[in-house]
Amino acid sequence: MRRLITAALALPVMLALAAGSAPAASYPTKPITLLIPWPAGGITDMIGRTFAKVLSDILGQTIVVVNRPGGAGTIATSECIRARPDGYTTCITAAGPLTTQPHLSDLPYSTEDYIPVIHLGNNPIVLAVRADAPWPDVRALLSHVRENPGKVRVGHHGAGSFGHLGLIRLQQDAKITLTPVPFAGAAPAVTALLGGHIEAIAVHPGEVWAQAEAGKARVLAVFQAKRNSRYPDAPTFREIGHDIQAGVFNVVLLPKGTPPEIVRTVHDAFKKGLESQAYQDFAREFAYEIEYLDQGAARKKIAACLEQNGELIRMLGLPTKK
């Protein structure tokens, strides 16, 4: 009788556990929403749409790409983090909403509120000049800057952008003084460079590719760990003695509390996507640096970048959250 009573008491618990594990075991059974924090046509949007096609085949479900721009990427990132933790809402976000905006704005999330499922890669910053600039390489440019502090103006995406922060790191490490000039995006910065209004720009590889191809601009160096495939002759700053990197990395997020089985399924699907020919072709075309990091390594990178960017933002005196 005692065994019967114990079994009867245990039955509801067993049924609840079975019911809770069934959705995770069968995931996915319906379309998955993939949030993109920026408008259509940007690099993160193109990454998302490339993955959407690949993941549909891998997971056997439609991946619905939803662009939710605004708040410097924090609106879609917040929506993803606050979504029901069932794996049917995810997002591909970038470094800004995770490592710079937390210092600049009061956000409804912290690093403890999301799971960084997988790190996909980096869209680095390159340093470029006009094709007719008097400096044959980056060493010559840095020597000129040392002899003429503050005279070289370098355009970037805006105060607190990764191009801006990369220039600040370069100044600190090389002990030089540049004059960073903010623009409302890469296009006006490139126009100013070609018009002779500034001497250099710090932008993403694809944003100066057309001018480099047309013989109007030259990339002198890249802010990344290895040489960029589009500009194989341009050294990394590490190669010339300055171990600095700058760029926007992309991470796939899921809300905290998502079952481990679902997290693993999403991770494995994106990892296969990274290895697909479609994604390899995309990365090659846009000079995007594929870099796989698992959840643990991605979390460490986010934490390190969050701390480092906070120090630079405070040093620059940018208005921070109250």
pLDDT at 219 (0 to 100): 96
Residues 104 and 162 in one domain: no
On the question of pLDDT at 25 being above 90, the answer is no
User: How far is it, in rounded angstroms, from Cα 103 to Cα 321?
Assistant: 6
Average pLDDT, the chain: 89
Residues 117 and 257 in one domain: yes
Residue of 126 and 162 predicted with greater confidence: 126
Last residue of a domain, one of 179, 210, 240: 240
Q: pLDDT band at 15, cuts 50/70/90?
A: very low
Neighbours of 251 (CB within 10 A): 26
Residues 214 and 283 in one domain: no
Residues 109 and 134 in one domain: no
User: How far is it, in rounded angstroms, from Cα 219 to Cα 77?
Assistant: 33
Residues 119 and 259 in one domain: yes
pLDDT at 1 (0 to 100): 46
Residue 2 within a domain: no
Residue 294 within a domain: yes
Q: pLDDT band at 24, cuts 50/70/90?
A: low
Least confident residue range of 25-29, 276-280, 290-294? 25-29
Residue 1 within a domain: no
On the question of pLDDT at 17 being above 50, the answer is no
Domain limits for position 48: 8-123+248-316
Residue 3 within a domain: no
Give how far Cα 297 sits from Cα of 96, 158, 170, 291, Å.
Answer: 18, 29, 25, 11
User: How far is it, in rounded angstroms, from Cα 125 to Cα 246?
Assistant: 6
Residue 308 within a domain: yes
pLDDT at 148 (0 to 100): 95
Residue 176 within a domain: yes
Closest by CA to 100, choosing from 255, 247, 309, is: 309
Residues 109 and 12 in one domain: yes
Last residue of a domain, one of 240, 266, 297: 240
Residues 187 and 267 in one domain: no
Residues 161 and 189 in one domain: yes
Spatial neighbors of 245 by CB under 8 A, at least 6 apart, are 124, 166, 223, 224, 225, 237, 238
On the question of pLDDT at 305 being above 70, the answer is yes
Residues 106 and 156 in one domain: no
pTM of the entire structure? 0.80
Residues 172 and 156 in one domain: yes
Residues 143 and 231 in one domain: yes
CATH number (domain holding residue 72): 3.40.190.150
Q: What is the mean pLDDT of residues 118-131?
A: 94
Contact 243, 76 (CB under 8 A): no
Q: pLDDT band at 23, cuts 50/70/90?
A: low
Last residue of a domain, one of 240, 267, 284: 240
Residue 39 within a domain: yes
Residues 40 and 26 in one domain: yes
Query: How many separate domains does the chain show?
Result: 2
On the question of pLDDT at 214 being above 70, the answer is yes
Residue 263 within a domain: yes
Q: pLDDT band at 321, cuts 50/70/90?
A: low
Residue-wise pLDDT tens digits, 85-115: 999 999 999 999 999 999 988 999 999 999 9
